[in-house]
Structure 1
Amino acid sequence: MTVAVPVCGWAPSRSRATAEGFTLLELLAVVAIIGVLAAILIPTVNAARVSAHKARTRVQFNQWSTAIELFRSEYGHYPVFAGANLVNAGADGAEHVFHDTLAGRRRDGTPLTSGSTALAQNPKRIAFHGFPEAEFAAPDAHAPQLLCDPLGNTEIAVLVDRNLDGVIDATDFGTLPLVRGLRPDESVFPAAGVRAGVVFYATLPGATAERPEFVLSWK
């Protein structure tokens, strides 16, 4: 008579090793996938962030342009800023010609001082633009009292149509101002000029002499 002998116990070593092996492979696969996704997504996220800041910068430049046009509408001419044609040029601890002229007050909120360039240009002390806190460099920046754009630039060029011929060209400014050591070439600012009353420009993050890139109010 044949007696069936029940098989007692089990041999886990092979199945456990197989299960553990698959788990390790799965983890490695997940890590690899995360690395690939990060390599794809991080540059995309950074590019999206720069694009958003670039759009906000254009909005800010357009708001400043509107303020300058309102000044012209009120006084019949464009205001005169510092000779360097930079928004923050000539700014010291007390006075800031660009800000003070368009705000009708000083940065600390006090009235324009007698004999100041800003008061001479805006004797009615009209506030053409409010200059919210977001338009100033961060408190921990090297120059917290300077105006900046959403990209963090404090070197911002401003040009106006001085001769009121409808075009901003070399007759209005002579030489295009440098921003962070870079000057737009003719592919950016045509030799024939830009048809506008007021323009602003600044550099994009990572711009270099080999790859000069700018954010422009007119493009």
Structure 2
Amino acid sequence: MTKPVVALTKGRVEKQFIQFLEERGFDVAPLLDKGRKLQVETEQFFAFFAKGIDVATYVEHGIADLGIVGEDILLEVQPDVFDLLPLPFGQCRFAVAGEPDSNKALGKQKIATKYPNITTDYFRKQGKSVDIVKLEGSVELAPLLGLADDIVDIVETGNTLKENGLVVKEEMFSISARCIANRNSLKLKKAILYPFIEAFRVEEVIK
């Protein structure tokens, strides 16, 4: 195949990435006019669209050469992919949040989250042991209904927390969208991938 295959996270990251590509002179018309198609070919690459966690899986197994995915997926799932570089969109932060007047004094703290691995690792580094309640949906409900003392979640604007009477208690760390690559593709398709990757580089955001 003479073009890179790129897996894109559907939704907000997809829209931000398309804008990012357009600013760099890429042909994005097929991406904008795709309708309900899950696979699209442009002048410069083939693209398909999937959930973030599935993007990482497709890249890991070599179905896609590159992937655009939130850093939260990489930290939580730790797929066997090459984390190439950060991208200048999708910025948000992990935080511990809860009801403003709650202060767990006795017993082990109970934390509700979609990210048990990230949460466990964060508190372990602080020398704390917590009980994790794994949720898939709106974690903001957990402290309100007494399922957990606090939550760990991604915060962008903080509006959802505020509307549900919760506050950020502790800032954890910032994340962004990332460009990831299949390890074998980087070796076998170097000639077609590296010019593509170089177009993504934004010096001020590279860590």
Answer whether TM exceeds 0.5 for this pair: no
When Rg is computed on C-alpha atoms for both structures, the one with the higher figure is 1
TM-score computed with the length of structure 1 as normaliser: 0.19
Q: Whose helix proportion is higher, 1 or 2?
A: 1
More strand by share: 2
Higher RCO (CA 8 Å, separation ≥ 6 residues): 2
